[in-house]
Amino acid sequence: MPPVRHRSLPWLAFALYIVLSTGLLIALGIPIAPDRYFFVLLLFSYEYLRGLAGRFGTVHYLTGIRFDSMVFGTPPTVTLQQRLAHGTSLAPYDVVAAVLYLLHFVMPLSFAFLLWLRRADQFSRFTAAFLVVSYAALATFLLYPAAPPWLASQAGYLPEVHERVSTVLSAFPARFHLPTVYALFDPNQVAAIPSLHAAYPLLILLFACRFFGLRGLVVLPYVAGVWLAVVYLGEHYVFDVAVGALYSGGAFALTELVLPRLWRPAEARRRIVAA
């Protein structure tokens, strides 16, 4: 049998997930809803296509630098690393920042699963907004590929800025290295604008407050922590974070305010026709 191509492994993993989850649902007597599969398929497709960013057009290095320099004088990622980063020596906040960064997909999927357990309509509304943000960002990555601070530093546009996530991960003993499906996708190094690491936590916060009221504010420290982490780690400018927040706010408004108003007249017309 010929070896499986590297690029085929994500889709084999997805197929295996579908088979196992379907078997589990049947065994437990849980109805199989197609929208759950559609959500996961779109998520895998998004992550697969994301690697195309930067392969077309010119990579932009100066957008975030100019904005952050105009607002702060020196880009915060430079200031934070100069004051807090110590080469390959790690402080506890380095590990905390890296963990927050690596929760990128875990937290949205966990929140979506929580909503799925509660009410189907809440799950559908959140995942719709999540996919709007993801694919709007994907379009931006393809049309306007932008380099993160650490890559801009390597190109000579910034003082010394390091990719601190790699520094933290390289410090872990080899026995703790756990390969993931994420590592099988094409890496995307020029998808800085918007910051989805900033957009996803804010989207969770907005829907948590929408569905749980003031109790949803428990997510606020997580949001603030991720935003600070991605800047300190050299992955994003404050500008990228701000644009990511705008994308989340727009997706939330679209799915919670605009689309329901468009659906109501259509539902009313269908009821009149049915009567």
Q: pLDDT band at residue 201, thresholds of 50, 70 and 90?
A: very high
pLDDT mean over 56-70:
89
pLDDT at 135: 85
| Secondary structure of residue 191 in the 3-state scheme | strand
The phi, psi pair for 179, rounded to 5°, reads -65, 145
**Selected residue with higher pLDDT from 50 and 203:** 203
pLDDT at 237: 96
Partnered with residue 60 across adjacent β-strands are 146
pLDDT at 141: 86
Residue 195 structural domain: 33-274
Q: Indicate whether 16 pLDDT > 60.
A: no
| Secondary structure of residue 237 in the 3-state scheme | coil
Element (H, E) at 157: none
Q: Indicate whether 53 pLDDT > 80.
A: no
Question: Which residue from 4, 185, 167 is spatially nearest to 87, judged by alpha carbons?
Answer: 167
Q: pLDDT band at residue 210, thresholds of 50, 70 and 90?
A: very high
Question: Which residue from 162, 237, 164 is spatially nearest to 198, judged by alpha carbons?
Answer: 237
Residue 146, domain member (yes or no):
yes
pLDDT mean over 83-107:
88
Q: Indicate whether 7 pLDDT > 60.
A: no
d(CA 65, CA 73) in angstroms, rounded, equals 10
Residue 11, domain member (yes or no):
no
| Contact status, residue 69 vs residue 155, Cβ threshold 8 Å | no
State the Cα torsion 137-233-60-143 to the nearest 10°: -10
Residue 270, domain member (yes or no):
yes
pLDDT at 193: 93
Q: Indicate whether 267 pLDDT > 60.
A: no
d(CA 170, CA 253) in angstroms, rounded, equals 40
| Contact status, residue 44 vs residue 10, Cβ threshold 8 Å | yes
Residue 141, domain member (yes or no):
yes
d(CA 261, CA 269) in angstroms, rounded, equals 13
pLDDT at 96: 93
Residue 241, domain member (yes or no):
yes
Residue 196, domain member (yes or no):
yes
Strands (E), the chain: none
| Secondary structure of residue 61 in the 3-state scheme | coil
Q: Mean pLDDT check: name the lowest of 1-5, 124-128, 173-177, 209-213.
A: 1-5
Residue 24, domain member (yes or no):
no
Q: What predicted TM-score, i.e. pTM, was given to this entire model?
A: 0.76
CA 196 to chain centre: 4
d(CA 129, CA 53) in angstroms, rounded, equals 22
C-alpha distances (whole Å) from 258 to each of 120, 160, 203, 254 are 20, 45, 16, 5
Q: Which two tokens stand for residue 273?
A: 């026709």
DSSP secondary structure code for residue 209 in this structure: H
| Secondary structure of residue 91 in the 3-state scheme | coil
Count up the domains in the chain and report the number. Answer: 1
| Contact status, residue 111 vs residue 207, Cβ threshold 8 Å | yes
pLDDT at 134: 87
pLDDT mean over 96-114:
88
Q: Mean pLDDT check: name the lowest of 42-46, 142-146, 157-161, 193-197.
A: 42-46
Residue 248, domain member (yes or no):
yes
What's the pLDDT tens digit per position in 75-91?
A: 999 999 999 988 878 88
3-class secondary structure per residue, 98-138: HHHHHCCCHHHHHHHHHHHHHCHHHHHHHHHHHHHHHHHHH
Q: Indicate whether 257 pLDDT > 60.
A: yes
pLDDT at 249: 95
Share of the chain above pLDDT 70, in %: 67
Q: Indicate whether 102 pLDDT > 90.
A: no
